[in-house]
Amino acid sequence: MPSWKLWKGDQLKGKPKPSTRKGKQKGGLAPSAEPEGSPAAETGGHEPITSATAIPKLLLSPEEELCMKTIYTSDYLSHKQRIPTWASGTCQWFLRHALYQSWLQEPEIPLLWLSAYHGCGKTTLASMLVDELYSRTTHASVPTTVCYFFFRDDNGEQKSATSALCAILHQLFSARPSLIKHGLSEFQANGIKFIKEFDLLWNILIKASLDPNCGKVLCIIDALDECEYISQSALLHSLMKWESMASNSSECRMALKILITSRPSPQIERHLFTRPTIRLKAEVHNINADIAVVAKARLQRIAQRQSISGTTLLNLERRIIQKARATFLWVVLVLDMLEESACASKDSLGSFLDKVPQNLSAVYETILSRSPNPWGASKALHIIVSAERPLNLDEMAVAFAIRPSDKSPEDLDLEPNIAQAIMDLCGPIVRVIDDKFYLVHQTAKDFLCTGIAMISPAQTEGAWKHSLHVVESNCVLANICTWYLRFPIFEGCFSREDAEALCQEHRFLNYAAHYWTSHARKTSIRNDRKLTEAILELCDIVSTPRVWTPLQGHRDHRDHREMFPLSALSDPKCGLGISQPPSVLVASAFGLSEIVQELSINTAATQTWGDGYGALHVAVLFGHLGVARVLIEHGADVNGGIVRPIELALTMKFWGENQQQLENAGAYKKWLQAKRDEVPFWAFNEDDKMLLLLLESGAELPAPKLVRGRSGTHVQNSTKEGCALVEDRIVDTESRSFEPVAWHMRRIVMAALANRSARAGVDY
């Protein structure tokens, strides 16, 4: 069997293991080999962190333990284990590089950037550095902690800067429990929400690294270019500010050192181009030497299996290195294809290499053009690229097999060996790691996917390039999930416990229940009547209760936007108190604008429930601008309800800032009704499209009094009722003049105030 047919990482069982491994990966960027040295727990060092409960519970208070569990937002250890180990003898040039040594030893160089284009082995090198640094800590004179994070575009846990900071903090606190106090104070002040706040997490890291008990912290952050754009910007801005402070002021120098790897994207280049940088494109000689080591080791295994002569093998090795152009990924893919072939003679091997293109995109095209079933390959790739998280073997087996005619799990014609089946269809462009499906590299996703709805043949270089559109891919999974959830076996009223037990029996149920709405929101159902009808059925949870509703349940977050929508609708304490929400409210809560459009034809947009709440309130509550626009176009009352939509929009921001104080005092809804004459207008921002939509649609500003708060800061004072408004100054709209102090009041707000007060105008 070709080596790329199965590629599994370690399963963590029994006692914790260091992250270096033997013989567990095949088809990777380098053959498996034990690196020199391995992590160990000795004085001054620490073992790799292996779980959320890495610190013995006796060392933590219950609150500290909860804080640690809260920041464990990603399985960073398994993310590292996706990465192939390096071949023995490779990467040594980097360890000797002058800039790397300076970063390690000189306090005035806290930041190092490793820049390279795709396929050069950055991630494998970063993984090697983590293991190498672990081994160094065993003999370090200064207590040293090694932390890491690997960004990946194909996994929701690995996309954001907040996830990265949470992972780094979890590793740091696990190694140095005395530092947990820096995270605990923010946890106590802000609750679970603090893991979503980049600035809070960054400040915790800086404070912890300045603590006298911290020691040295070496942090490896890989593939920054795959971090989502907004949080990437925040991270780069903070890195530059920190690096400048640490480099230029001896008083501010700290033990924290960060090494970043990335492709040279424009935004990253703009921030980092003046910083110490190792550019792999300038290290072609060293990379080619490493490629030679990798290719030789892998070719020897192929030669033994396919009986290739020694002379032919040497010639093959020479030609592969020449064509590789310092690109590890190209070598891996070519060797995978070679291993799959039956070539063994000098002529057949020479012909094989002659036909292999040097361009990565062309290699991907060649691989997929050989698929025995292009339709099946396309379906598998649609599923892999659009999945909200990597699917495991059982989930993929169901997703790949299900048909619209299936009525029960027993009807599914499942592949007995789904990993083999998918990789037979897609070749080495797909990997199975720890029983989960991934693309071989981000460049494969770049090759396959496009944001352009229609591409003419003249615009493409082949049948497969940009053949997957994000809307179509999500449509594939939306159909798969809705077909599955509509099985009669999943109908009825289920408790949370019964629903979770059902997931153990039906392995695709958990994924379908949690993510069908996300896929439905990201696709277009306008011309797909069958999918529209399926979604309408699933939204009708009153007539036909289904198991997906308790599975989503109430997520353990205090912010409404982090709650499962149905809980926010039905919870009488902090929700809208609508116990049996109709379809239009369910669709509005999940942002299904085209479904809301369909339902609004029959006056659903103007209906109200409970205390006068309608679908517009729900859309505002969850920030679904498209849904709000549809509802307003169909006559939704922008000034209806005990709490009007614009009040809800304003106070949602306030709630996000002050949820803990409000919960302690007795609920968000009570506050809204009691304090509706005090609106935190610091929440206004001229880029807030929801507020502007409401104002432009005729929403009246809610009250004669505005409370000026501290824009962008966390509230520190609270009233007896727990309404933690910072009342620097009460502004009465009955007066004609406003003195514009340092708050973010925009012109449109002031104009709306002028209209509401029916005065001659407002001076500012």
Residue-level length of the chain:
764
Helix (H, G, I), strand (E, B) or coil at 433: strand
Tell me the C-alpha distance between 706 and 728, whole Å: 11
Amino acid at 757: S
In the chain, what are the domains? 36-282 (3.40.50.300), 284-356 (no CATH), 374-552 (no CATH), 656-757 (no CATH)
Tell me the C-alpha distance between 749 and 752, whole Å: 5
Residue 208 clears pLDDT 90, i.e. is over it: yes
pLDDT band at 250 (very low <50, low <70, confident <90, very high): low
Report the chain's C-alpha Rg in angstroms.
Answer: 29
Residue 50 clears pLDDT 90, i.e. is over it: no
Output DSSP code: residue 184.
H
pTM as predicted: 0.71
pLDDT band at 479 (very low <50, low <70, confident <90, very high): very high
Residue 54 is predicted with a pLDDT of 54
Higher pLDDT, 333 or 649: 333
Query: What is the average pLDDT across 395-407?
Result: 96
Helix, strand and coil content of the chain, in percent to the nearest 5, comes to 55, 10, 40
Tell me the C-alpha distance between 236 and 224, whole Å: 9
Task: List helix spans (H) across 24-121.
Answer: 62-71, 76-81, 92-96, 98-105
Residue 577 is predicted with a pLDDT of 66
pLDDT band at 281 (very low <50, low <70, confident <90, very high): low
Q: Which residues pair with 433 in a beta bridge?
A: 436
Task: Report in angstroms the alpha-carbon separations of 368 from 94, 341, 386, 439.
Answer: 35, 15, 18, 13
Residue 706 clears pLDDT 50, i.e. is over it: no
Packing angle between helix 346-355 and helix 328-340, nearest 10 degrees?
Answer: 130
Tell me the C-alpha distance between 731 and 737, whole Å: 10
At 508-561, the pLDDT tens digits run 999 999 999 999 999 988 888 999 999 999 999 989 999 998 887 544 333 333
User: What tokens appear for 594 in the block?
Assistant: 């085209």
Higher pLDDT, 11 or 502: 502
User: What tokens appear for 373 in the block?
Assistant: 């079933």
Q: Judge contact between 232 and 267, C-beta under 8 A.
A: yes
How many Cα neighbours within 13 Å face the side chain of 362?
5
List the single range of 2-6, 206-210, 371-375, 675-679 with lowest mean pLDDT.
2-6
Query: What is the average pLDDT across 570-574?
Result: 56
Residue 450 is predicted with a pLDDT of 82
Residue 612 clears pLDDT 50, i.e. is over it: yes
Residue 482 clears pLDDT 70, i.e. is over it: yes
Residue 42 is predicted with a pLDDT of 31
Query: What is the average pLDDT across 742-748?
Result: 31
Residue 23 clears pLDDT 60, i.e. is over it: no
Average pLDDT, the chain: 76
Give me the sign of the Cα torsion angle 534, 538, 542, 547: positive
Query: What is the average pLDDT across 405-426?
Result: 94
The residue with tokens 């019964």 is 498
Residue 48 is predicted with a pLDDT of 55
The residue with tokens 């392995």 is 507
pLDDT band at 15 (very low <50, low <70, confident <90, very high): very low
Amino acid at 561: R
Residue 572 is predicted with a pLDDT of 55
Q: Judge contact between 551 and 513, C-beta under 8 A.
A: yes
At 673-696, the pLDDT tens digits run 444 444 444 344 444 677 777 777
Amino acid at 231: S
Task: Report in angstroms the alpha-carbon separations of 298 from 123, 349, 432, 742.
Answer: 19, 15, 19, 65
Tell me the C-alpha distance between 435 and 184, whole Å: 36
Tell me the C-alpha distance between 280 and 278, whole Å: 6
Output DSSP code: residue 48.
P
The residue with tokens 């990253």 is 268
Q: How far does Cα 207 stand from its chain's mean position?
A: 26
Residue of 535, 650, 534 lying closest to 590 (CA atoms): 535
Q: Judge contact between 480 and 498, C-beta under 8 A.
A: no
Residue 614 is predicted with a pLDDT of 87
The residue with tokens 């958990």 is 510
pLDDT band at 749 (very low <50, low <70, confident <90, very high): very low
List the single range of 54-63, 192-201, 663-672 with lowest mean pLDDT.
663-672
List the single range of 43-47, 542-546, 566-570 with lowest mean pLDDT.
43-47
Concatenated DSSP letters of 372-428:
S-HHHHHHHHHHHHH-SS--BHHHHHHHHH--TT--SGGG----TTHHHHHHHHHGG
